[in-house]
């Protein structure tokens, strides 16, 4: 008899806990992946290459003989285009953008997300990812 009361008590407590926990859940997480939208013309040579030089190729990671893509100034554009790292039809699905926002593999740069860099790269892709 005591065993039945214990099991019944545990069952009632479990149902109560489950009922309470149903009201405690996170509906959505909103992450701001970019800074303010950039509406000016973004150029590969003046805006994107300096980002790569400061954050990607300077560290020795994304240079010839390092991890793909080669983001050195002389090879970055061809590496990105040939390697299908940019998707001008769906810019936010671009592999490089997914890396920058931490949605694909390891977050790049490894120093952490930079909303301004993300906004600049996204604007460049939205503007056609031109070699200008």
Does the structure show a pLDDT above 90 at 20? Answer: no
Q: Name the pLDDT band for 56 (thresholds 50, 70, 90).
A: confident
pLDDT at 91: 96
| 8 A C-beta contact, residue 64 and residue 75 | yes
pLDDT at 119: 94
Instruction: Please write the tens of the pLDDT for every residue from 70-80.
Output: 999 999 999 99
pLDDT at 40: 94
- Nearest to residue 81, comparing CAs of 93, 69, 73, 89? 69
DSSP class of residue 73? T
Tell me the whole-structure pTM to 2 decimals: 0.72
pLDDT at 109: 82
């Amino acid at each position: 008899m005591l065993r039945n009361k214990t099991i019944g008590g545990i069952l009632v407590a479990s149902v109560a806990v489950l009922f309470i926990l149903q009201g405690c859940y996170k509906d959505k997480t909103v992450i701001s992946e970019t800074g303010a939208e950039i509406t000016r013309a973004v150029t590969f040579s003046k805006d994107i290459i300096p980002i790569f030089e400061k954050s990607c190729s300077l560290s020795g990671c994304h240079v010839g003989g390092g991890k793909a893509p080669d983001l050195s100034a002389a090879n970055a554009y061809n590496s990105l285009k040939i390697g299908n790292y940019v998707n001008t039809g769906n810019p936010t699905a671009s592999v490089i953008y997914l890396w920058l926002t931490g949605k694909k593999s390891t977050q790049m740069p490894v120093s952490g997300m930079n909303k301004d860099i993300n906004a600049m790269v996204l604007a460049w892709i939205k503007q056609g990812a031109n070699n200008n």
